[in-house]
Chains A and B, each alone.
Chain A
Amino acid sequence: MSEFTRRNICEGVNFASITDDRFKLGRLSATLITPLSKESAAANALLSCVLTRSCKKYPDFTALNRKLDSLYGAALYPSIRQLGDCQALTLTVTGLDDRYALDDEAVSSQLAELLCSIIFDPNVTNGKFSDEDVEQERRELIESIDADYNEKRTYAIKRCIEVMCKDEIYSVGRIGSREDVQGVTHADIYSAWKNLLSNARIELTMLGNTPPEKAFDSFCGYFDGKPRKFRYTPPTPVTPGEVRRIAETDDVVQSKLVMGLRCMIPQTNEDIIASALMSAVLGGTPTSKLFMNVREKQSLCYYCVSRVDSYKGLMLIDSGVETDNIEKTEKAVMEQIELLKSGCLTDDEFDAAKLALKNVYMSSLDSLAALQSFYIGSVLQKEMMTPEQAAKAVDLVSKDRIIELANTLQPDTVFSLVGN
């Protein structure tokens, strides 16, 4: 495995690569990062879907998919993430490395060309993306938003964030609302494309066995080096007032409880790792406080999990419980948080969380998808980290720092979906 290298193409455009012969697949991606806004989030999201549906060279969905299929079932897809108050739109192409092609074709160079085509030479005529592509992708995006309600765990988490951050940009979410997607016009999509290409922060990644030089050179040709508007502004910290409680009823067998808490927005890599560790200690592993007490001791639930968003300074704890046990579970969770705040953290608990977190970081080195995701997740931080550096940083976190960070936790919103 080669060293991780990151080259600057021009201001705001970077190309990162790892050349590694361990993998059967290669993976190439472009991530466009832009400030989240109610006005543009849906258009950006819809654009990223439309871009992966066709391009000039393969002008419809079937033609493009036939090309991908002939390249041994290569995959081309958009993924949309929220990084604090930013939207990150990733277009990924992944396919077999040339060594494993049955007919000695150069799969990887064709995939790199394809990624360039869909981004820079899309299916646009007279300033307009294809009608059919836009309408099909709009329908699918709306169906995917609707489908969040099908899975009640996803739905309850989404609702909790909506309620908790309703006056903050953060609540726009990674795609925007159903109505936003409905309202996107052709002109919006076209200007989203123009705007993202000239103003977004762009992170290109190339992972796998193929040396990156050729792809790097062809990407360089697409950027003129003009100044880009993107500047990262971290979210403003929020101090919650009295705990907001929202309960919705529905025809469900199991009730869902989601607790949203505010916590400190970490400013350094050390603190980003420390908050991840704080969440692991509380509810991130099968020996965490929540698992051991809420599930194992009190048998209240099957899952009770915490996760932290370091960009936003937000923690979510969620569980599925009997309707009669909603209050009892909330109390049990709060009890564990209070215990942690008061410094109740054994060496065993602390060490176990450290080992578990290090295992997560070190395992990501064995998966191109995980490497890409880790990289994108860290590009807006002040200093970039590799998974190895993250694993090393885990060892340096002190118990005191965990307890200090736990003491920044403040309950903000409790959302419950109540079975009737």
Chain B
Amino acid sequence: MSFTKIENRRLGEEYFELQHSSGLKIIVYPKKGFNSIYASIATKFGSVYSRFTCGGKEICVPDGTAHYLEHKLFESEDGDAFSKYAKTGASANAYTSFDQTCYLFSCTDRFSESLGILIDLIQSPYFTEETVAKEQGIISQEIKMYEDSPDWRVMMNLFQSMYHNHPINIDIAGTVETIAKITPEILYECYNSYYNLHNMVMTVVGGVTPEEVLKVADEKLRPSEKTDAQVIFPDEPYKVVRNYTEQQLPVAVPMFEIGFKEVCNTEFASTRELICTSILMNAFAGESSSLYRLLTDEKLINSTFGHEYLEGPGYRAVLLSGESRDPALAAEMINDAVKALHKNGISKEDFERARRVVYGRTVAGLDNNRSIAAELINGEFTGRSIFESAEALADVTVEDVNAQLEKELDADNSCLSVIKAID
């Protein structure tokens, strides 16, 4: 087994990848002169993978199962991983998103030991009635913390109002009621279906060599059988569920998020589509845009205003969000600007400025081990590659971006989510 080197001359960067005989894809991205190393193992299994078939059986799990599994995987028969990391000094964590679960640590010393702990962690599930029950209280408090978070609520309310059937409309952590139904058997079922090495990727970024990583991998990784797990998503209509949703929470500044739902006919977007969308949104709603100026002059937004692209298996939407004294008026002006944008397209000047912004931020991401790791993981799960973006940015044209606009920002298919103060 030997590593393949992937390099980019423009950026002076390189990384190495290897399909390990155990089934795990390994990517090592050495950062010369760095003290810290950021290592992660991710599985393509997140909260939206709530219904699937595996080995001829159809399985449907309670909401919040992927996240619960993430918490419980830290425990194995010989103790919990945090205590093991405590002996090496690594700072460990994990997260569950809509479409993946990731286990990670960062360290500046004793890397090989920590990597061994990480690999053991994902290979040694240990769920009992007792350990599963113990987590109910902890995760219930995590869920309640999010219930009080206007940032989180404004987003989840939006997804519930955009999506009829797709499980992106369900909270990642589930509810106190749904997690009460989780059993060790359910956790094992998910683990056995999706935590096989063929469905996972290991990324190591920082002051490390491919050889150091491979040595631990060879020692620790046990060959894994590929499964035929297949997620089932219900049919999702193009149209949003409703155009408006609001919730009252104890807030002093109301918040809003607007989503423009899109057609989703491939599992993931291509690098080019992402780049074009990014340029489009920067030109349309970035800090130097006329829309930003207009909304600021009207005192309708502040520096929390921003945009992002929601994109994953079965869902795609452009999102704009922020705090506003008058969310309805802000949304009205944004919708008017969207209509004008479709009429006029992006100008060459705005395009060029936005292209530079997106290029600069893409390159800037390479200063951060964690954001490199996130890009590598996403790349592995979506068929994109980390250096493609910088290259695409060097030759993308305003025509490409305006063509992308045709597929996006449908003013007749948007929803406004508002969090306002309690009456």
Stretch at the interface among A4-12, A270-278, A363-371: A363-371
Q: Considering the chains assembled together, what is the distance between the CA atoms of A287 and B83 in angstroms? A: 6
Q: Considering the chains assembled together, what is the distance between the CA atoms of A360 and B251 in angstroms? A: 34
Chain B, residues 172-216, CB within 8 Å of chain A (1/0): the string is 000000000000000000000000000000000010000000000
Shortest beta-carbon contacts, A-B, top 9:
A355-B89, A72-B360, A299-B137, A73-B357, A352-B86, A73-B360, A65-B288, A146-B252, A362-B108
What are 9 pairs between A and B in contact, CB < 8 Å? A22-B32, A66-B288, A143-B325, A147-B304, A254-B144, A286-B82, A286-B86, A287-B86, A355-B87
Chain A, residues 345-370, CB within 8 Å of chain B (1/0): the string is 00010011011101110110111100
- With A61-B293, A367-B368 known as contacts, the answer to whether A1 contacts B33 (CB < 8 A) is yes
Q: Considering the chains assembled together, what is the distance between the CA atoms of A99 and B87 in angstroms? A: 41
- With A96-B363, A102-B394 known as contacts, the answer to whether A352 contacts B252 (CB < 8 A) is no
Chain A, residues 119-145, CB within 8 Å of chain B (1/0): the string is 000000000000000001001100110
Q: Considering the chains assembled together, what is the distance between the CA atoms of A343 and B85 in angstroms? A: 24
Please tell me if B1 contacts chain A, counting CB pairs below 8 Å: no
Please tell me if B353 contacts chain A, counting CB pairs below 8 Å: yes
Chain A residues within 8 Å of B356, by CB = 69-73, 102
Closest CB in chain B relative to A94 CB, distance in Å: 8
Once the chains bind, are B367 and A149 in contact (CB under 8 Å)? no
Closest CB in chain A relative to B347 CB, distance in Å: 13
- With A24-B367, A73-B361, A251-B422 known as contacts, the answer to whether A320 contacts B88 (CB < 8 A) is no
Once the chains bind, are B367 and A368 in contact (CB under 8 Å)? yes
Please tell me if A157 contacts chain B, counting CB pairs below 8 Å: no
Once the chains bind, are A359 and B34 in contact (CB under 8 Å)? no
Chain A residues within 8 Å of B144, by CB = 253-254, 320
- Tell me the B274-324 residues at the A interface (CB within 8 Å): 282, 286-288, 290, 292-293, 296, 299, 302-304, 323
Please tell me if B31 contacts chain A, counting CB pairs below 8 Å: yes
Once the chains bind, are B323 and A299 in contact (CB under 8 Å)? no
Once the chains bind, are A149 and B252 in contact (CB under 8 Å)? yes
How many residues of chain A have a CB within 8 Å of chain B?
Answer: 66
Closest CB in chain A relative to B204 CB, distance in Å: 14
Of all chain B residues, the one with the shortest Cβ separation from A20 is B33
Chain B residues within 8 Å of A300, by CB = 137, 141
Once the chains bind, are A348 and B359 in contact (CB under 8 Å)? no
Chain A residues within 8 Å of B270, by CB = none
Of all chain B residues, the one with the shortest Cβ separation from A285 is B86
Q: Considering the chains assembled together, what is the distance between the CA atoms of A359 and B147 in angstroms? A: 33
Please tell me if B170 contacts chain A, counting CB pairs below 8 Å: no
Once the chains bind, are A286 and B250 in contact (CB under 8 Å)? no
Closest CB in chain B relative to A93 CB, distance in Å: 13
Once the chains bind, are A136 and B296 in contact (CB under 8 Å)? yes
- Tell me the B95-134 residues at the A interface (CB within 8 Å): 106-109, 134
Of all chain B residues, the one with the shortest Cβ separation from A152 is B148
Once the chains bind, are A96 and B296 in contact (CB under 8 Å)? no
Once the chains bind, are A150 and B252 in contact (CB under 8 Å)? yes
Please tell me if A176 contacts chain B, counting CB pairs below 8 Å: no
Closest CB in chain B relative to A372 CB, distance in Å: 13
- Choose from B252, B353, B358, B369 the contact partner of A147 (Cβ within 8 Å): B252
- Choose from A69, A136, A143 the contact partner of B323 (Cβ within 8 Å): A143
Please tell me if A322 contacts chain B, counting CB pairs below 8 Å: yes
Q: Considering the chains assembled together, what is the distance between the CA atoms of A44 and B105 in angstroms? A: 40
Chain A residues within 8 Å of B249, by CB = 251
**Which of B32, B141, B366: most chain A CB closer than 10 A?**
B141
Please tell me if B11 contacts chain A, counting CB pairs below 8 Å: yes
- Tell me the B366-401 residues at the A interface (CB within 8 Å): 366-369, 394
- Choose from A25, A70, A365 the contact partner of B364 (Cβ within 8 Å): A25
Please tell me if A250 contacts chain B, counting CB pairs below 8 Å: yes
Closest CB in chain B relative to A250 CB, distance in Å: 5
Chain B, residues 51-73, CB within 8 Å of chain A (1/0): the string is 00000000000000000000000
20 new A-B contacts, CB < 8 A, other than A73-B359, A366-B206, are A65-B286, A69-B353, A69-B357, A71-B360, A95-B360, A96-B363, A102-B394, A144-B303, A149-B252, A153-B145, A253-B147, A254-B141, A299-B136, A299-B138, A301-B138, A303-B145, A358-B108, A359-B106, A362-B108, A363-B91
Chain B residues within 8 Å of A151, by CB = 149-151
Once the chains bind, are B142 and A302 in contact (CB under 8 Å)? yes
Q: Considering the chains assembled together, what is the distance between the CA atoms of A152 and B108 in angstroms? A: 34
Please tell me if A23 contacts chain B, counting CB pairs below 8 Å: yes
Please tell me if B354 contacts chain A, counting CB pairs below 8 Å: yes
Please tell me if A259 contacts chain B, counting CB pairs below 8 Å: no
Please tell me if B263 contacts chain A, counting CB pairs below 8 Å: no
Once the chains bind, are A143 and B89 in contact (CB under 8 Å)? no
Please tell me if B168 contacts chain A, counting CB pairs below 8 Å: no
Closest CB in chain A relative to B395 CB, distance in Å: 11
Once the chains bind, are A102 and B359 in contact (CB under 8 Å)? yes
Please tell me if B264 contacts chain A, counting CB pairs below 8 Å: no
Q: Considering the chains assembled together, what is the distance between the CA atoms of A23 and B366 in angstroms? A: 8
Chain A residues within 8 Å of B303, by CB = 140, 144
Closest CB in chain B relative to A416 CB, distance in Å: 14
Closest CB in chain B relative to A231 CB, distance in Å: 34
Please tell me if A321 contacts chain B, counting CB pairs below 8 Å: yes
